Amino acid sequence: MLVIVYNDYMKIIMLSVKDAAKELGISDSHCRRLLETGKIKGEKLGRDWVVRELKYRRKRRPKGWQKSGMI
């Protein structure tokens, strides 16, 4: 779920853990772990996390990734 909050001078976009994980190509549990360690910016609202910024770069290649042109 994408939530957009407007106030007088800025727009704040917040993503659910599920949507953020999908965008980043990681699992939901790994996304929560990154939030807990502060590698992804977000905040905890009650028992759920809300992701505020998606500035994260994977260290490994996604499963099934193949270098093009190489056999």
User: Is 71 within a domain?
Assistant: no
Domain range enclosing 37: 2-51
Alpha-carbon gap, residue 46 to 3, rounded angstroms: 16
Give the domain CATH number at 23.
1.10.10
User: Is 64 within a domain?
Assistant: no
The pLDDT tens digits for 17-34 are 999 998 888 899 999 999
Q: Check residue 55 and give its pLDDT.
A: 74
Rounded mean pLDDT of the chain? 78
User: Is 38 within a domain?
Assistant: yes
Stretches where the chain sits below pLDDT 70 are 1-12, 57-71
Beta bridge partners of residue 50, listed in sequence order:
16, 43
Domains contained in the chain, number: 1
